[in-house]
Amino acid sequence: MGPVKSRLLIILMIPAIAAPAFSSGPRERAQENVVNPAPETEASGGLTGGFRKAEKDNPHVIESVRFLKAEMDARGIRVQEVRSSEIQVVSGYKVHLVAEYRKNGTSDVLDALIYLPPRGEPQLLSLTYGAE
């Protein structure tokens, strides 16, 4: 009787595992590629997908600020103070920074989006001057 139960259990489990591969709805298609969702982290606020407020002492924020300062120094712009920072967990991290800067004696605010890949160098995805 034991082997018969095992076979029956296997037969019932196979359609449940294979079902998403034959789905046609957008929700099912989006979920069929989800193997291991991003871990819940302090940066993501326990949720995946959106930007979450991040403290200035967060290691990803620190790395992004260092990268942004180097990029702006090369353009003759001095980043002074970070006003706000947010992080989005993706394959790596997207860090959104709003910071004060000085150029030619004038102060203003810039808005930067930086991508920190799992491997490789950070990338500046967008930069807006005078964003308040």
Q: What is the CATH number of the domain that holds 113?
A: 3.10.450.10
Which domain, by its residues, includes 78? 52-129
Is residue 94 situated within a structural domain?
A: yes
Give me 130's structure tokens. Answer: 């005078």
Number of domains in the chain: 1
The pTM of the full predicted model, rounded to 2 decimals, is: 0.61
Average pLDDT over residues 97-116: 92
In this structure, is residue 115 part of a structural domain? yes
Q: What are the distances in angstroms from CA 55 to CA 112, 120, 131?
A: 16, 24, 20
Strand 106-116 with 52-53, pairing:
unpaired
- pLDDT tens-place string over residues 115-126: 999 999 999 999
Nearest of 115, 121, 64 to residue 88 by alpha carbon: 115
pLDDT in tens, 48-89: 578 999 999 999 999 999 999 999 999 999 999 999 999 999
Q: Alpha-carbon distance 41 to 93, whole Å?
A: 12
Higher-pLDDT residue of 24, 117? 117
Is 24 a member of any domain? Answer: no
d(CA 69, CA 78): 7
